[in-house]
Amino acid sequence: MRGNPIVGIYLAAGQSTRMGSDKLQLPVGSMRLGNFALAAALSSKLDYVVVIRNDAAGDWMDDAFYRDPIKQKWSVIYCPEACLGQSYSLRCGVKAALAMEAAAAMILLADQPLITDKMINELLTYFQTQQQANSSIGFTAASYEGLPRPPVIFAQQMFPELLKVQGDRGAGHLIRKEGTGICLDFPIPDLFMDVDDAEDYRALLDKVAARRKS
């Protein structure tokens, strides 16, 4: 891993309360739901990925991730306090990025299964280009119709703000602050689909099945 890497923080320690069971273990074709966005992250130009998990979570991760060379690109950080809110998972990831002297960190959600490595790479390129022109830019967020959403890349200077996040909230309020960052719009709404409940899961299965037929 190169010096001052860009690290992915893969938030996969949620409680799945609206689903009623661990949604990351749900089958979607030959994979489990939690593996889709992780596969995209590991196939992307991110230098490294830390997977934030809850000790109580089931083993949903695909065996392929444990094989060379892909296993060199990620590690798991267990966050037993994740049950207290998303901010705990976020802070675990940011602390890991700080320990790696990361230049930036991309926040990715495990329940956003239709993101792609192409999307991640476009965000990375845009962030790096904008940072070269103006190093004060704190973040680059993906957006749809002008509304910022994950994935989002935070520059190192934003890490102290991320470590202040409290309770059951992520970094949403930071990306809504005017003047601290920029957005890159993606015109495909499916990229931003998140799976929270049984209805979302059924919709995901329909979308995946339709893609395989096309």
Integer Cα distance of 149 and 141 in angstroms = 6
3-state secondary structure of 50: strand
- Give the range of the structural domain holding residue 144, as residue numbers without chain letter: 6-213
Does residue 209 sit within a domain? yes
Mean pLDDT of the chain: 89
Integer Cα distance of 26 and 151 in angstroms = 22
pLDDT tens track for 144-165? 998 899 999 999 999 999 999 8
Does the pLDDT at position 83 exceed 90?
A: no
Residue with tokens 């994740």: 82
Does the pLDDT at position 56 exceed 80?
A: no
Average of per-residue pLDDT across 208-212: 83
Beta-ladder partners of 155? 104
CA nearest neighbour of 4 among 117, 84, 132, 105: 105
User: Token pair for residue 114?
Assistant: 């239709």
- Cα angle: 210, vertex 193, 129; to 5 degrees: 110
Considering its fold, how many domains does the chain have in total? 1
Q: Are the CB atoms for 170 and 164 separated by under 8 Å?
A: no
Does the pLDDT at position 178 exceed 80?
A: no
Average of per-residue pLDDT across 46-55: 92
Which residues, 6+ apart, have CB-to-CB distance to 10 below 8 Å?
A: 37, 38, 41, 49, 50, 51, 52, 74, 93, 108, 110
Least confident of 34-38, 42-46, 58-62: 58-62
Does residue 1 sit within a domain? no
Model confidence at 20, in pLDDT bands (50, 70, 90)? low
pTM of the model as a whole: 0.93
Please report, to the nearest 10 degrees, the dihedral formed by the alpha carbons of residues 169, 170, 174, 177 taken in order: -60
Average of per-residue pLDDT across 78-87: 84
Does residue 116 sit within a domain? yes
5 or 83: which leads in pLDDT: 5
Query: Which CATH number characterizes residue 68's domain?
Result: 3.90.550.10
CA distances 133 to 48, 100, 179, 208, Å, are 25, 25, 15, 39
Does residue 38 sit within a domain? yes
Integer Cα distance of 175 and 158 in angstroms = 11
CA nearest neighbour of 124 among 141, 99, 149: 141
Model confidence at 177, in pLDDT bands (50, 70, 90)? low
Please report, to the nearest 10 degrees, the dihedral formed by the alpha carbons of residues 148, 206, 42, 168 taken in order: 50
